[in-house]
Structure formats: C-alpha cells, structure tokens
Amino acid sequence: MARTIDIPEPKLSRLLFSDTRFSWLWLILRVYLGWQWLSAGLEKYASSAWVGSQAGSALKPFLAGALSKSAGSHPDVSSWYASFLSHIVIPHAALFSYAVTYGEILVGAGLIIGAFTGIAAFFGAFMNLNYLFAGTVSTNPLLLVMGLLLILAWRNAGWLGIDHWLLPALGVPWQHPKKL
C-alpha cells in the first residue's frame, strides 16, 4: 500500500511565492522584465531585417558569430548547439526571425498586463537560455534569473494583473475549470 507524505513548503517560500501581499514585488519585477522583452521585440518589428522583405538577414550575422564561438579548446558555444544552429536555425533564419520578434512581443505584453504570467515568464526564460547557449551573455543571465523567479511566483505574480481574474476563471491543470 502506497503512502503519501506531504512535505510542507518553507514559510519564506510560501510568503514570497504564494502570498498576495508580495504581489506588488512581482508587479515591479514583471513590468520591468516585460518592458525589456516588449521594447526588444518592437525594435525588431520595426526592422525589415527581422520581419518583412529581408527577414532573417539580421539574425544570420548573430548566428555566424555564435558558430565562430564553437571552435577552439574552450568554446563558448557547445557543439550540439552549434549543430542545431547550423542545421536547423540557419536554413530557416527567416522563420526564426519572425519567431524571435513575435515571441519577444508576446512575452513582454503578457508580463506587463499580467496575463498567463508563469507561461510568459517560461518562454522568456527559454529565449534567454537560447541566447546564452549561443554565447551571448549581456543582460541574459539577469533576465533569466528574473524570469525564473516569476515562474516560481506564478500563483501570485499576476495577482495585480489580468491573472487575478483569468486564473480563477480558467482554473489550473490539476483542477476542473470554473464556469464564467
């Protein structure tokens, strides 16, 4: 017979990630991170090198730079990621250019308005990881940490946002949705 053991959540963790009194902290972090993503995406959207007639032309030099970092005795880019870039991303640079642009805009908008905050933060963190795998440090580690914190705080990170109404209405995967 199987026994279930309930391991209580630490009080500090519950306070930070579950208590709506800290939703103001997540609001500040969420809007800042959202603005970073939204402004980066809108800048790309305004450029025909990212979306439009020359889509992919801005991405190709970035990818070439990443591939150049995959050589040598201490490469910045792992061989498996360089293989992914050269065989999947570069041949479809225009498609990935659109995906990056619209992904950044959607992540930014979702974080700013607080809609599906945990999901938006997850996809933002996923993009940060890809930039890091490509050997680009910049602000990516900081943005990744912020995104991970928002993923952990998904239950109340959007409390001062659309999630305040959206999550109770839709429910969560382990509950049946409530009727509107």
List the domain boundaries for the chain.
25-170
Q: Cβ distance 161 to 26 under 8 Å?
A: no
Residue 66 tokens read as 């990443």
Q: Which of the residues in the chain have pLDDT under 70?
A: 172-180
Residue 170 tokens read as 């839709």
Give dist(CA 1, CA 118) in Å, integer.
36
pLDDT at 179: 56
pLDDT at 77: 95
Alpha helices in 5-92 (DSSP H): 11-18, 23-45, 59-68, 79-84
pLDDT at 120: 98
